[in-house]
Amino acid sequence: MTPDELAEQFELYVDQLGDKLSVALIAAYEQWRAGTLTTAEFEQVFIQMVGTMNAYARTGADWLGSIYLASTPKGTTLVTVASETARLADAAATLVALLDTADDLKTQLDRIGHNEPTEAAQQQLVHTYRGHGAHGYRRRLNAGACELCTWLVKAHLDPEGIGYVYPTGKSFHRHTGCRCTPVPATRIERTAA
């Protein structure tokens, strides 16, 4: 697998999970509007669905990162997410406070639905690389990458001119909506832009 193929597979994977989660979150919101779900139930459904999809994202990213490094998934390298339920509960509480008033709630749910599994998968990839003994990774931009992400590549700081090698001990710099792919810097990438 080349770095380009890794990035392509990664984006495909997180986009699929993001699409599914967004649809599910918006469906739950529609049920709340129809009175089928209470506010408390909506909150619980939100926490459950996002948490579950993030877990899928981590498992898939662990597998993908392991395949890229040509070793087998270790199964024990998943990111620890003890605080995730509390974080999602906060997000759910914030959303619920907006249920009656926000007219762009679907847009927000769509953004959260795409962002959450992508972030989980990005952090997992870096964690998996580290678990497999890779010390550094580079940032590979997604097609519509913003100026911040372009700057974060820091190609001028890399002797090979591809991108700065970030230590796998630090988590991935990102912003909401970022779909860039961390790629292990374990081999020289001759063909990279």
| Residues near Zn ion, by CB under 5 A | 145, 149, 178, 180
Indicate the helix (H) or strand (E) that contains 94.
helix 84-98
Whole-angstrom Cα distance, residue 69 to residue 83?
29
Please identify, using beta-carbon distances, which residue of 37 and 183 lies nearer to Zn ion: 183
The encoded tokens of residue 16 equal: 């699929």
Q: How far is the CB of 179 from Zn ion (least distance, A)?
A: 6
User: Considering only CA atoms, which of 56, 64, 68, 57 is closest in space to residue 134?
Assistant: 68
Whole-angstrom Cα distance, residue 91 to residue 167?
30
Please identify, using beta-carbon distances, which residue of 69 and 178 lies nearer to Zn ion: 178
Please identify, using beta-carbon distances, which residue of 12 and 98 lies nearer to Zn ion: 12
Q: How far is the CB of 173 from Zn ion (least distance, A)?
A: 9
Q: Is 139 helix (H, G, I), strand (E, B) or coil?
A: strand
User: Considering only CA atoms, which of 47, 177, 49, 170 is closest in space to residue 119?
Assistant: 177
Q: How far is the CB of 87 from Zn ion (least distance, A)?
A: 21
Q: How far is the CB of 142 from Zn ion (least distance, A)?
A: 6
Please identify, using beta-carbon distances, which residue of 54 and 118 lies nearer to Zn ion: 118
